[in-house]
Structure 1
Amino acid sequence: MHDPDTSSRPSGNGARWALIGTAVAVAAGAYAYVGGWLSPQRLTPDRLVDDFQQAAGDHPGFRRNHAKGVCVTGYFEGNGNATAFSTAPVFAAGRTPVVGRFAIPGGNPYAPDSSVPIRSMALRFSLANGQQWRTGMNSMPVFPVATPQAFQAQMDANRKDPETGKPDPAKLAAFFAAHPETAAFRAWAKTARPSASFVTERYYGLNAFHFIDADGARHAVRWRMVPEASDAGAAPANDNYLIGDLHRRLAQAPARWRLLVTLADPGDPTDDATRTWPANRRTIDAGVLVLEHEQPQDSGPCRDVNFDPTVLPAGIAISDDPLLAARSAVYADSHLRRTREEARVPGAASTADAGMESAR
């Protein structure tokens, strides 16, 4: 699936990587820092956020990543199928309230919806016992790189040259040569196209987690949301169609996704988001996500939610994926910066940093 020409001479496909890679860099830029992983002389949370602002422009009160989005509310209807693997009450038969957010990558809240082919879904499940499960997912099946260090190298390779306004092809080629693990993402990026609807997308958790059962046994898992709708069609020729499409669809009927949880076999990687698991792994249908209403992000219930994917209820735990701790550290830093701006700029459109969710 890997085209060697893109590694040695990034022309057409290289340009496509530059476009999507830059979007992913912004969407998941928070992955690149956690204390001790990167030299503090080279990178700190503040400097990283400054880089994102430089790339997207100054938009006080908006999140630095996934700045353009919309709040959604609804519920998750568990069916009990996952209770043998996790004690989290969300998987028992019954409803759990959900607050979520759809978005596109980037720090520009006015970016055209068709500028990138990636969409994100971030969710907060509020369990009856007072605990929460937060998750950020993206419409790409793999992540480009596996470590914060590699992500920093990706950001460097995608940095725009001040003279050309584009990434340096030689730096991209060198990055590809040094990081063959990007092949799966690049193969997806070659054919990815912007969709016409949030509702018809699949959303992948990308990182591995552990379910913990009643006996304390751990089960490595990944999850994805699979839509019941499939009629997206081609993206319209205008800049702002996704939220309008969502509004029209939800006015007619709730939008629904199946939560599919895949169980790893021994030896399947849990620390590498660039590698998928074999298709024959056991998959459980854990229930259905039902989204009923959408609201503007500046006044809706998702406004102040930090969709940190390490906020987990008992029965779910993080894996050894190094990107998870990095996401949590920088989501917190970015959220703090946003709230400080909100205090200084009354009336600014305010949203919490959802990250990649990513990218959620």
Structure 2
Amino acid sequence: MRQPVATISLIALGFAVTVFGIVPRASAQETPVEEQIVDAFQTLFGKHPGQRVNHAKGIVAEGSFKASPDAAGLTRAAHFQAGTVPVTVRFSNATGVPNIPDGDPNANPHGLAVKFSLPDGSETDIVINSLHFFPVATPAEFRDLLLAVAASKPDSPKPTKLEEFVSKHPAVAKAGATVRTPESFATEQYFGINAFGFTNKAGETSFIRYVAEPLAGVKYLAPEDAAKRAPDYLSEDLKARLAKAPVQFRLLAQVAAAGDPITDATIPWPEDRKRVELGVLTITAPAADNEEAAKSLLFLPGNVTDGVAPSDDPLIAVRDASYAVSFSRRSE
């Protein structure tokens, strides 16, 4: 049985509409919010040893990143200077269900995580997804959204907790409307929901949000066509493409103008804001052992390097902390 009232937010955000209850720990208010969020995900999707609590299903691949000449004008970060650095990427479906069919609407939004290997031996990450902006602005609101979903059962009195939450948080429905099922991981566009500060060699700082545009073009499937696809069509498609040629994305920085909010992930910046090409991400081959590679990798939005700094958006630190909690539970 599905939960129709929740469809617009659950499908878009990757929450299984077949799950009706979260039972928070008795001491939930005493635990850090990142643990409350992870607990909520595990109750929604179950505990799957070795798997992420969200974006559990995915595929790891290897490649490189070549910076564009314009990137250094924005930031002194090592991977955005002239030259090429190795990368490890992971494309993923939403939800904590490791075998969710790729064409299931709940598999949206899809994720793209990139780990850059820098010349000095260190690493830095970018973690973006196909939501154009986020449904809530704070970690507590995200927790409350999960709890509202759990409390909104088919026989719940109207308005349900979810309906009440959405009425007070209009970005939930608006964010949900920005995602669709892609034809391929290689034909999806990915967005950084949080702002980061870029500082160049002259000491000038600009705030940016990442955008990854596929060189193959943005292509989506109609819901009825997505439902007919094989359960693993996205990963199989990526493997088939890589067997023939590299998959490439243009990595862009959308630059904030004066007055643009940099601490509220629910507010997209106007489309006419300047976009600077940072370089081209070239993916060349799937990982030899996807399961082992996925299990060992930890991508953190706040894992930055000199020349890049997190903004004061409260979601960044809690995303880092939640991912770390999820990582620690993979072996449970």
Contact 1:203 1:224 in 2 (8 A): yes
* Contiguous gaps of at least 5 residues in structure 1: 1-10, 26-37, 342-360
Q: Match for 1:172 among 162, 175, 189?
A: 162
| Shift in alpha-carbon separation, 1:280–1:167, aligned structure 2, 3 A | farther
* Correspondence for 1:107: 96
Provide the rounded CA distance (Å) in 2 between the counterparts of 1:167 and 1:122: 40
* Correspondence for 1:310: 302
* Correspondence for 1:141: 132
* Correspondence for 1:246: 238
Contact 1:74 1:97 in 2 (8 A): yes
Alignment of 1:147-296 (within 5 A): 147-159=138-150, 164=154, 170-188=160-178, 192-230=179-217, 232=219, 234=221, 235=226, 236-295=228-287, 296=289
* Correspondence for 1:128: 119
Using the size of structure 2 for normalisation, the TM-score is 0.86
The amino acid across from 2:200 in the alignment is D
Larger mean CA deviation between 165-174 and 178-187 belongs to 165-174
Provide the rounded CA distance (Å) in 2 between the counterparts of 1:45 and 1:167: 30
Q: Deviations over 1:72-92 (max 9, x none)?
A: 100001122111221112111
> Does 1:320 find its partner at 2:312?
yes
Q: Match for 1:96 among 68, 77, 85?
A: 85
Q: Per-residue deviation at 1:24?
A: 9.2
Q: Per-residue deviation at 1:166?
A: 9.2
Task: Give the secondary structure class of the aligned counterpart of 1:114.
Answer: coil
Contact 2:215 2:249 in 1 (8 A): yes
Contact 2:13 2:94 in 1 (8 A): no
Q: Match for 2:110 among 109, 113, 119?
A: 119
* Correspondence for 2:291: 298
Provide the rounded CA distance (Å) in 2 between the counterparts of 1:160 and 1:13: 12
* Correspondence for 2:23: none
Contact 1:14 1:169 in 2 (8 A): no
Contact 2:35 2:322 in 1 (8 A): no
Q: Match for 1:41 among 27, 30, 40?
A: 30
The amino acid across from 1:331 in the alignment is Y
Q: Per-residue deviation at 1:226?
A: 0.2
| Structure 1 vs Structure 2 CA RMSD | 2.6
Larger mean CA deviation between 241-250 and 49-58 belongs to 49-58
Q: Per-residue deviation at 1:140?
A: 1.5
Provide the rounded CA distance (Å) in 2 between the counterparts of 1:212 and 1:165: 53
| Shift in alpha-carbon separation, 1:74–1:174, aligned structure 2, 3 A | same
* Correspondence for 1:332: 324
Q: Deviations over 1:288-308 (max 9, x none)?
A: 0000011343133x4312101
Larger mean CA deviation between 327-336 and 316-325 belongs to 327-336
The amino acid across from 1:148 in the alignment is P
Q: Per-residue deviation at 1:186?
A: 3.9
Task: Give the secondary structure class of the aligned counterpart of 1:216.
Answer: coil
Task: Give the secondary structure class of the aligned counterpart of 1:124.
Answer: strand
Provide the rounded CA distance (Å) in 1 between the counterparts of 2:234 and 2:247: 14
| Shift in alpha-carbon separation, 1:122–1:24, aligned structure 2, 3 A | farther
* Correspondence for 1:348: none
Which one scores higher on RCO, CA 8 angstroms, separation ≥ 6? 1
* Correspondence for 1:3: none
| Shift in alpha-carbon separation, 1:22–1:79, aligned structure 2, 3 A | closer
Identity rate, percent = 36
